[in-house]
Amino acid sequence: MAGLYFEQFEVGQRFDHAWTRTVTETDNVLFSSLTMNVQPLHLDAHFAAKTEFGKPLVNSIFTLGLMVGMTVNDTTLGTTIGNLGMTEVKFPRPVFCGDTLRARTVVISKRESKSRPDAGIVDFEHTALNQKDEIVATCKRSAFMRKRPQ
């Protein structure tokens, strides 16, 4: 199991995740179609060319999912009970097809579960950056984490 248990996280701990991903037009079209998001800014190059961006934007919910997904192997793979929520989701810069994203994570807090002695809650701050080291997405995520088995 690659993920860490509750006891292995420390407030302030930082992960610079090794996995990167170049976003493709196929990613954007499939994700937008699968989620029934027919926004022409994501799917219509002619429409998008007339906007201030000049080309289609990658669906921001795909960007959010990719950012969190790139963090899982180092943090919660096999050790999480589930996500409790995501807050303060922001997209300060657009993502375009052809951008290569990477992620980093900082543990911002942790606490014992009041209802489950075998678990705790870890709060993460995730950041996604593009190939120019520009921040393209951020969010805070609360994960319900298993404690190390006895």
- Quick: pLDDT tens for 87-137: 999 999 999 999 999 999 999 999 999 999 999 999 999 999 999 999 999
51 Cα distance to chain centroid: 27
The structural domains of the chain, ordered by start, are: 6-146 (3.10.129.10)
pLDDT greater than 80 at residue 1: no
Query: What's the pLDDT at 150?
Result: 82
Query: What's the pLDDT at 128?
Result: 98
Beta bridge partners of 110: 122
The side-by-side arrangement of strands in the sheet containing 100-112 is: 14-22, 100-112, 119-129, 135-146, 80-90
pLDDT greater than 90 at residue 2: no
- Quick: pLDDT tens for 34-60: 999 999 999 999 999 999 999 999 999
Can you read off the two tokens belonging to residue 38?
């027919």
Interval 67-73 mean pLDDT: 96
Query: What's the pLDDT at 64?
Result: 98
Cα–Cα nearest to 100, from 61, 67, 59, 56: 67
Q: Name the pTM for this structure.
A: 0.94
**Which residue's structure tokens are 């096999």?**
78
E-assigned strand segments in the chain? 14-22, 80-90, 100-112, 119-129, 135-146
